[in-house]
Structure formats: C-alpha cells, structure tokens
Amino acid sequence: NGKVVKTFRVAIGQPAYPTPTGTYKIVTKQKNPTWIPPDSPWAEGLGEIPPGPGNPLGTRWIGTSAPAVGIHGTYADWSIGTAASHGCLRMHIPDVEELYEKVSIGMPVEINP
C-alpha cells in the first residue's frame, strides 16, 4: 500500500561503489549464506567464506533485482550509518533478521540511501 512500516539504520556503498537508488524487487532470500566473491577487481583472489562470524553477509541475505546488490547483516556494527560497503545495504544482525521475516520474494523495495 506504499506506507512505510519501519525504517532501519544501514551502511551504504562507499563513494567508489555507490549503492544504486530506485525501486527494485526482492529476488532471493537466504539464511546463513556463504559469501561468494563477486566478479569485481576489489574481490580478486578472495575465496568463499562459509557461514559464521567471519562472513561479511552476517546471518541473512536478501537479494534484490539491482545487479549484485542486496540487503544483508554485518558483524561490523561500527559501519552502520556510514558509507562502508561495496554497494550493498548492511544492517545490524537483529535488524536484518527481523526484516528477513517480513519480506517475501517479488516484494518491491525502494532504495534511497
């Protein structure tokens, strides 16, 4: 219905890797995701990171239709409220777990960092 239900503090993309703006759709959801290095120069030579405290995606991944951009948790709580990511929206672990339960695949998401 277009009403804002809740807002969360997030980390957005660094100036070199800005978070895209616009309306997208949720296309995937995953609990305890494995981080797979993206095809990007900054990730060259990095390997997969299994679920756990060292995983940069935290405990949840909500993939959007924006290419290679999703909403995910982070163990780097200090980064929330800053431009620290490579384009994704980072959230505190409890916040992304709450959001994960409230969204479904196909749902629109407006990104306005």
- Mind telling me the catalytic residues? 72, 88
Q: Each residue of 25-60: b (16+ CB within 10 Å) or e?
A: ebeebbeebebeeeeeeeeeeeeeeeeeeebbbbbb
DSSP E strands, 1-113: 12-13, 22-31, 60-64, 70-74, 83-85, 89-92, 108-111
Tokens 């800005």 -> residue: 18
Tokens 């239900």 belong to which residue?
5
